[in-house]
Amino acid sequence: MQAQLKEGHSMEMESISRETIKPSSPTPSHLIVYPLSLIDNIVPPNSVPLIYFYPNQPQEYDTNDASTQEYFKISTIKKSLSKVLSIYYPLAGRLKDKSIECNDQGVSLFVTRIKSNLSKILQNPSKVLMNPLFPDEFAWKDMGPCASLLAIQINIFACGGIAIGLCMSHKVADVSTLFNFVNDWATLNKISSEGQFIFPIYVVDAGASVFPQGNLAVLPGFKFVKQNNTVTRRFVFEGSKIESLKAMVVSSSSQKVTNPTRIQVVIALLYKCVVSALISIPKNAPFRVSTNLRKRMVPPLPEKSIGNFVWSFYPSNQSMHNKEPQLHELVTNIREGLYEFCDKNVKNFGDVSFVYEFLKKAPSLPQKKEAILDMEKKTMFLFTSWCRYPMYEVDFGWGKPIWVTTSDCPMKNTIVLMDTRDGKGIEALVNLEDKDMAMFECDVELLHYASLSPN
């Protein structure tokens, strides 16, 4: 295929191939219709982006020719992708009438060659350099009702390094499913290239079996409101700094907060700093924290349950009465909010009628247009954690990734947390309006614990 040069970017990129990869074996007829669950039907159709960076790692091939090695590597990727799609078969289907038609149409796979070294990205991971690494720059966008539910782009750098960018429709599943998919794909690719026995991989199609839509009315969906004046900054909390935060929370609490988690103290600090920096909002502005329902259900669901099993709880902060929030108070509120959410709601999620009534009352699920407009005027912060997933264990046979991250999110007041490579620190991608970010990124307390956009 004749290579075409992508223009308009500060990196030279050649499009090597664009094709559709289909499952290696057809989906059985009794699985052709994959119904969406109550939660699947109300989440936005926007894609969830994820990208893995790999430095050049020598592999044993029958040839030392670089182009031939590249051919073998891409060929193996395609074969293993086809195999894993037979297991994650809904991803190879298409949306149709509140369900997925598992017709094996496949997923989009793009291969590009970049005429710069991987170090150019790692030294300056800016939006203009990162966005072209995602397929058709679909990150956080709605890929369309007839489009592939999963799109993948393999980026090959001049140095031999590789970046794998993925965009998955949120309609089919949450980020947990995406992480599991990439891990299983990498495992199949590695053992296939090494000639090992392909061990069975099991996933659970749990979405509609746990939260069936049935004859219930479809609730209005979430609104993914894109703001053009939203900017993203990456703050990295090293493990040692997080340990200092934990110690401070424990020592300053009269109620003796014990064993606060990494995620709790980082969310507390980020919230404290943002409401302190933005003088135009109340000091007790509402915030919500997303949580994975799988392990909190009674009984727990398997971690490889496909579908959307994420919901948000709202820590109470009304007792602060617009005073400057304290870290230990925020941590306590987050812990109590999670406990109350699980005790009052999640443990009852085995009852579909309970779930339906619970979703109808969700503050972030307005029923009328006026309520949507009113909600957009209010300042609310959303914290979503992608920590504790084995993202740095993904080995396609070239070694483990040097960096795993996502793309800038155009939805303001959204903060995404991800593990650092050592598993001890946290990277926070903070998305705020440009005028708010100008104040937030200068917060002295924040910069004492976090580094702004390190390479």
Question: Strand pairing of 230-237 and 94-95?
Answer: unpaired
What does pLDDT average to over the chain? 88
pTM of this structure: 0.92
pLDDT in tens, 210-247: 999 988 999 888 877 778 899 999 999 999 999 999 99
Q: What angle is formed at CA 3 by the lines to CA 152 and CA 52, rounded to 5 degrees?
A: 25
Q: Which residues are catalytic?
A: 170, 395
Strands ordered across the beta sheet of 99-101: 33-35, 99-101, 94-95
Q: Within 10 Å of residue 92's Cβ, how many Cβ atoms?
A: 26
Mean pLDDT lowest for which of 148-157, 162-171, 357-366, 426-435? Answer: 357-366
Q: What is the mean pLDDT of residues 105-129?
A: 94
* Bridge partner residues of 289 (DSSP): 313, 383
Instruction: Give the bridge partners for 154, in sequence order.
Output: 111, 164
Other C-beta atoms lying within 10 Å of the C-beta of residue 63 = 10
Provide the token pair at 150. 């999963």
Q: What is the pLDDT of residue 5?
A: 41
Task: Flag whether pLDDT at 88 surpasses 70.
Answer: yes
Domain boundaries, the chain: 4-210, 230-452
- What's the rounded Cα separation, in Å, for the pair 355 and 345? 8
Q: Which two tokens stand for residue 104?
A: 């094996």
Nearest of 117, 175, 156 to residue 307 by alpha carbon: 175
Q: Which residue has the tokens 């290239």?
A: 193
- Choose the CATH number for 4-210 among 3.90.1300.10, 3.30.559.10, 3.30.465.10, 3.40.50.10540: 3.30.559.10
CA atoms within 13 A on the CB side of 327: 25
The CATH homologous superfamily for domain 230-452 is: Chloramphenicol acetyltransferase-like domain (3.30.559.10)
> Identical fold at 4-210 and 230-452?
yes
Any alpha helices (H) in 108-238, and if so which ranges?
118-123, 127-130, 175-193, 207-210
Are 109 and 92 contacting, i.e. CB atoms less than 8 angstroms apart? no
pLDDT at site 64: 59
